[in-house]
Amino acid sequence: MSEPLLKVEQLCKSFGGVVATDNLDFDVMPGEIHAVIGPNGAGKTTFVAQIAGMLKSDSGSITFDGNDIAGKTAPERSHMGLARSFQITSVFKNFTALENVALSIQAHAGHSFKFWKRASGDKTLIEPAQKILDDVGLGDKALNLAGNLAHGQQRQLEIAMALATSPKMLLLDEPTAGMGTEESEIMRKFLNDLKGDYSMLLIEHDMDTVFSLADRVTVLVYGRGIATGTPKEIRNNAEVRSAYLGEDE
Amino acid sequence: MLSKLKLSILIGSFLILAALPMVAESEMIDEPFYIDLMARVMIFSIAAMSLDFILGYGAMISFGHALYLGLGTYAVGIMAHYELTNGWMQLLVCISGTAFIAFILGLISLRTSGIYFIMITFALAQMFYFLGISLEAFGGDDGLPIDTRSEFFSFFDLNETWNMYYLILGTLVVAALVLWKIINSRFGMVVRGSHSNDARMQAIGFPTFKYRLAAFVIAGVVCGLAGFLLGNLTEFLTPEYMHWFRSGELMIMVMVGGMGTLFGPLFGAFAYLMMEDFLANFTEYWQFYFGPILILLVLFAKQGLWGMLPGKEDISDE
């Protein structure tokens, strides 16, 4: 049994009196997709923000790739190989799709105190960016402004930007949020293609996506992990059904 | 990229500016006063452009940017007061001084954003204004005449109107070109990206703070250079240039010209100072008439005069 790529132990975070993350233990094995589900307000996005370094944890440890990253900033974690996507689409709308991805590559191509050469004519940024866009199927949209892309394409671009940082692990915060059935299906297929190449922490509301992609599922309720197991185990877990799945069915 | 039309207008404007002294002093026109007026316009163009660099592209809404204008005049004035009139030395002090102060103030103010950033830049600039008032050695709030203009070369005497004018024009052209290159460089992409979505920039691996701080310092230094020229042109040092009212004027110039369009503020400064000059001929209360014009511009031309021209500028989004 190999070591987990991401290991979270006894993680806590509260906002005033509200406990958002409550002594949470969690891990992701190399190559695994570990999904986190839970009702609204369960603390899923807070959890992602803590791992990505946007929120400081109150206590607990986060180990990534053998290093304790609790004290690292978000950019430092990005450079260690953690890439996140956002629940609310946050591509740079007035940049082209190509410029969006090129910016991700630039972030990992040394410092950016380069004041003279035109960035959008820089082959060392543009060529790999175009290749990633081709890979995710947005190649022909490269020169469109990101804000003009369809919602589903923006979400794909968002993940392309994460991929451009050459990550070891993806933190995906509801990649199918706001999508119709058809778009969700495309995203599901897209993520399935990435499966195996990247470890993923997948936050998701869409049960079809979770149960078809995830190797393991953790159910979060009020910041607590109430159950972890294979999709099948979770589906049959009585506590989970009453706490969460039951509401839907 | 600039559209062909905008590029032609820009180059055309620079050519007109280059020809202006000859025309103004020709026998037909004989209004040398225009040389002085346009020299002033160009100085404020540089200052407004430097503000737009952080305000329009970096979403750093500095309400104390005129501070650097004042610091530039103080650099010239104080050194001239002690008979240190070597232009190169003055320039060195001006650049390093404004860079240092912008660095310290940026370190403090960039920890905040939004309304807090506006207020803290305002407060810090006002501190310097009151410091200037209290410096009796340099005239306090009365200011101090600058007896000698900066001395660069023996063959380039700044007391000659034309030399002064072309030094200002040259600085304007170089500043515009350099800032334009910076905006489109890797560095510029980081600043514009963090305007658009700072959290996202950090998530893809940019420690944005140091880039924003560097942009803040660059803007301060360029504005300091405008102050350097202003001190030489007006031959007067006064804390009044650091007052928040001046910072507000710079913001208006940026808005009139077009936020996030680097060259717009050049025309914003022109329009504002001309309007002031023109309306002031009719009434002491010229701002009463200027107000509605500004409101109309803000309501109907979000990207100001420059934005009214066809050809979309690739500016950072909201």
CB contact under 8 Å between A119 and B184, yes or no, is: yes
Q: Is the domain of A105 the same as that of A71? A: no
Q: Is the domain of A14 the same as that of A50? A: yes
B35 located within any domain: yes
Q: The sheet that has A59-64: what strands, in order across it?
A: A18-28, A6-15, A59-64, A67-68
Q: What is the pLDDT of residue B1?
A: 65
B318 located within any domain: no
- Average pLDDT score over residue span B32-57: 95
Residue B213: is it exposed, middle or buried by C-beta count within 10 angstroms (0-12/13-18/19+)? middle
B313 located within any domain: no
| B182 to chain A: closest CA residue | A115
Residue B293 Cα, gap to closest chain A Cα (Å): 29
CB contact under 8 Å between B186 and A112, yes or no, is: yes
B85 and A CB contact within 8 Å: no
DSSP 8-state secondary structure symbol assigned to residue A61: E
Alpha helix stretches (DSSP H) within chain B? 4-25, 33-58, 66-81, 87-109, 115-134, 161-184, 186-203, 208-234, 244-257, 264-280, 286-300, 304-308
Number of domains in chain B: 1
Q: What is the pLDDT of residue B317?
A: 37
Q: What is the pLDDT of residue B313?
A: 53
Predicted confidence (pLDDT) at residue B280 exceeds the cutoff of 80: yes
Q: Is the domain of A106 the same as that of A175? A: no
Q: Mutate which of B192, B200, B213 to test chain A, going by most A C-beta atoms within 10 A?
A: B200
* Sign of the Cα pseudo-torsion (A75, A77, A79, A82, in order): negative
Nearest beta carbon to residue B205 from set A86, A107, A147 = A107
Number of domains in chain A: 2
- Average pLDDT score over residue span B259-268: 93
Structural domain including A73 reads 1-81+167-249
Q: Is the domain of A155 the same as that of A226? A: no
> pLDDT band at B175, cuts 50/70/90?
very high
Residue B174 Cα, gap to closest chain A Cα (Å): 13
Query: Tokens 């392309």 — which residue?
Result: A160
Predicted confidence (pLDDT) at residue B121 exceeds the cutoff of 70: yes
Other residues' Cβ atoms within 10 Å of the Cβ of residue A151: 13
Q: Is the domain of A67 the same as that of A97? A: no
Q: What is the pLDDT of residue A246?
A: 57
Q: What is the pLDDT of residue B66?
A: 97
Can you list the positions of beta strands (E) in A46-197? 59-64, 67-68, 82-85, 169-173
Structural domain including B108 reads 4-308
Residue B70 Cα, gap to closest chain A Cα (Å): 27
Q: Is the domain of A120 the same as that of A20? A: no
Q: For chain A, list residues whose CB is within 8 angstroms of any CB belonging to chain B.
A: 52-54, 73-76, 78-79, 83-84, 86, 90-95, 99, 103-104, 106-108, 112-120, 122, 147, 161-162, 164-165
- Rounded to the nearest 5 percent, the helix, strand and coil shares of chain A are 40, 25, 35
Give the 3-state secondary structure of residue A21: strand
Domain boundary among A164, A195, A219: A164
Q: Is the domain of A125 the same as that of A196? A: no
Residues of A in contact with B188 (CB under 8 A): 115, 119
A87 located within any domain: no
Residue-by-residue DSSP string for B244-303: HHHHHHHHHHHHHH-TT-TTHHHHHHHHHHHHHHHHHTT-TTHHHHHHHHHHHHHHH-TT
Q: Is the domain of A13 the same as that of A75? A: yes
- Average pLDDT score over residue span B129-141: 92
* Cβ atoms of residues A170 and A159 within 8 Å: yes
Query: Could you read off the pLDDT of A85-133 as tens digits, one per residue?
Result: 988 878 999 899 999 999 999 999 999 999 999 998 899 999 999 999 9
Domain boundary among A122, A138, A164: A164
Q: What angle do CA A104, B205, B210 make, to 5 degrees?
A: 115
Q: What is the pLDDT of residue A1?
A: 56
Which residues face A13 on adjacent strands? A21
Query: Could you read off the pLDDT of B56-115 as tens digits, one per residue?
Result: 999 999 999 999 999 999 999 999 999 999 999 999 999 999 999 999 999 999 999 889
| B207 to chain A: closest CA residue | A75
Residue A170: is it exposed, middle or buried by C-beta count within 10 angstroms (0-12/13-18/19+)? buried
CA of residue B57 relative to chain centroid, distance? 15
Instruction: Give the separation between CA A46 and CA B217, rounded to whole angstroms.
Output: 35
Low-confidence ranges of chain A (pLDDT < 50): 248-249
A195 located within any domain: yes
| A164 to chain B: closest CA residue | B204
Q: What is the pLDDT of residue B316?
A: 38
B281 located within any domain: yes
> pLDDT band at B183, cuts 50/70/90?
very high
Nearest to B241 by CA among B133, B149, B83, B158: B133
Mean pLDDT score across all residues of chain B: 92
Q: What is the pLDDT of residue A24?
A: 93
B29 located within any domain: yes
Instruction: Give the separation between CA B266 and CA B231, rounded to whole angstroms.
Output: 20
> pLDDT band at B318, cuts 50/70/90?
very low
Nearby residues of B315 by Cβ (< 8 Å), 6 or more positions away: A94, B56, B57, B192, B259, B260, B261, B303
Q: Which two tokens stand for residue A9?
A: 């132990």
* Sign of the Cα pseudo-torsion (A179, A185, A187, A192, in order): positive
Q: Is the domain of A56 the same as that of A173? A: yes
Q: Is the domain of A143 the same as that of A33? A: no
Instruction: Give the separation between CA B279 and CA B6, rounded to whole angstroms.
Output: 28
Q: CATH number of the domain that A25 lies in? A: 3.40.50.300
B185 and A CB contact within 8 Å: yes
Q: What is the pLDDT of residue B283?
A: 82
Q: Is the domain of A196 the same as that of A98? A: no
Residue B180: is it exposed, middle or buried by C-beta count within 10 angstroms (0-12/13-18/19+)? middle
Q: What ipTM describes this predicted complex?
A: 0.89
Q: What angle do CA B92, B96, B101 make, to 5 degrees?
A: 150
